[in-house]
Amino acid sequence: MPKNNANAGWYLYIIRCANSHLYTGITTDIARRFAEHQTGSPKAAKYLKGKGPLTLVYQESLADRSEASKRESAIKKLSRQQKLVLIEQHQRLGRHSTSDNMLVE
């Protein structure tokens, strides 16, 4: 898939660090992005360097980059407790979510 493909699916994800901190991001390829974070590649988020092992605890499929960015902003405004509830609900479902079935107040 070419870079910057406007039709590519977008995903929001949350990673838990070894120190239990939560990191939220967006991407078109969760496996690639998570690997970048885990290996500390030059494209990895500076925030995550040295905070491994990392665990992918949440992922959500969104229609486009705009929707992914809006959702990322909304989740970053949540309290830690609200994020943990979101993650727990996601894990009970046992699958990734779409923006249609995960609402943020």
If you average pLDDT over every residue of the chain, what do you get? 84
Q: Do 8 and 28 meet the contact criterion of CB atoms below 8 Å apart?
A: yes
Q: Where are the domains of the chain?
A: 10-100
Task: Report the run of H or E that residue 31 belongs to, with start and end.
Answer: helix 30-39
Q: Is the peptide bond before 53 cis (omega within 30 degrees of 0)?
A: yes
User: Could you give the CA distance from residue 80 to residue 98 in angstroms, rounded to a whole number?
Assistant: 21
Range from 27-31, 50-54, 76-80 carrying the lowest mean pLDDT: 50-54
Cross-strand pairs, 95: none
Task: Compute the average pLDDT of residues 36-60.
Answer: 91
Quick one: 74 exposed, middle or buried, by C-beta within 10 A (0-12, 13-18, 19+)?
middle
- Residue 92: what pLDDT? 85
CATH code: domain 10-100 is 3.40.1440
